[in-house]
A and B are shown apart, each in its own frame.
Chain A
Amino acid sequence: MMTIESRTERLIAVREFVSTLAREFGFGDEDISKIALAVDEACTNVIKHAYRHDPSQRLTITVRPGNDALEIVIVDNGLQFNPNDLQTPDMKEYLSHFKKGGLGVYLMKRLMDEVEYNIRPGMKNEVRLVKYLKRSPT
């Protein structure tokens, strides 16, 4: 588990932390990059939207190795935000209007096998990311 203050400077350390554990778990370079990026996006959303860049706040990143999957849970105690507000259901429409922001949630869903939000206003917000280890057939 890693706890960081709510500052974007810390994202690089989060990526290194998650990458190291993903490598130990057995993922290859491509999946490690995907996992690190997805966790970066989740933490960036917390820092920007839940904590609104308040560096006195903290968020935790917990990595749980399972049998065939790695689960990463990002927890904050910040403002609730509706992840659906950040969703971009139609990328064609989105790109044609040159909008900025909101790409993170879309990316997380493309990069990971499971993305799940557990929002409890005033208590804690949780994002759960799961990536399965694809074993090559023998």
Chain B
Amino acid sequence: MPNQSYPLTEEVMSDFKVLHRDSGRVSILELKGYLDAHTAPKLEDAIQSLIAAKRYHIVVNCKDLSYISSAGLGVFMAFIEDVRNNKGDIKLSNMSPKVYNVFDLLGFPLLYDIAKDESEAIKKFVQMAK
């Protein structure tokens, strides 16, 4: 993929980061580190900001996500309905087997679109628009 994205904001915590960049109509949130009950509010704020800006095409890239607990999964649950009601979606990508396993235990792959990588997730939004 050509490097058409640029960094917008960086929210830093000691053990969890959300990096936000935009690629056209799609907003990408890159998660790094450990997503638990302590760090989940950071992700909540990031998705809330996108919704406030009416950016409903969201890709969450989990490439550097080392850990997720139910508090992290709860964040996706909290926003998915709102985002889909606005003709958008939260698509997930680049999950490690360890993180995918937690999603799988809860049956989330039935509910969420999980792409192999970020470009595949973005492509799905482009296809949605056609």
Which A residues have a C-beta under 8 Å from some C-beta of B? Answer: 7-9, 11-12, 15, 33, 37, 40-41, 44, 47-48, 91-92, 95, 98-101, 103-104, 106-107, 110-111
Contact = CB atoms under 8 A, between A and B. Distances in A.
B81 interface: yes
Interface of B: 15, 34, 36-38, 67, 69-71, 73-74, 77-78, 80-81, 98, 101-102, 105-108, 110-111
Main secondary structure of the interface of B (DSSP, over half): helix
- Of A12, A92, A99, the most chain B CB neighbours within 10 A belong to A12
A5 to B, nearest CB: 13
Contacts of B98: 33
- Of B37, B77, B98, B108, the most chain A CB neighbours within 10 A belong to B37
13 contacts: A8-B36, A8-B37, A11-B36, A11-B37, A15-B67, A33-B101, A44-B36, A48-B37, A95-B106, A100-B74, A103-B70, A104-B71, A111-B105
B70 to A, nearest CB: 4
